[in-house]
Amino acid sequence: MKYVKCVYDGGATIRLTIGKIYEVLKFSDNGYSPVIKIEDNTGDIVSYSMYNQDVTDQHKLHHWFIDAIPEIREQKINSILS
């Protein structure tokens, strides 16, 4: 995974922007949730889980990031066609 799109910021509005695409500097899978390393809005290189459990409902997951490659690919195709 080379790029991810932020879909949830957990209230960390300074560090992450919902809808923004971030370049993945490192990707690893710890068996529970894939972990990505990105440069956040403050310029820090930080690790984030792609998703985590909701503290109020253990059966609910918060997806912080999704794969942005399909969206990037669609944007490139649209720019070529227009």
**Number of independent structural domains in the chain:** 1
DSSP secondary structure of 27-78: EEE-SSSEEEEEE-TTS-EEEEESEEE-SS-TT-EEE-EEE-HHHHHHHHHH
Whether the CB-CB separation of 5 and 71 falls below 8 Å is answered with: yes
- How much is the pTM? 0.80
* CA separation for the pair 8, 62 (Å, rounded): 7
pLDDT for 22-72, tens place per residue? 999 999 987 777 999 999 999 999 999 888 766 666 667 778 899 999 999
Q: Which of 3-7, 13-17, 69-73 has the lowest mean pLDDT?
A: 13-17
The parent domain of residue 60 ranges over 3-81
Tokens of 81: 């066609």
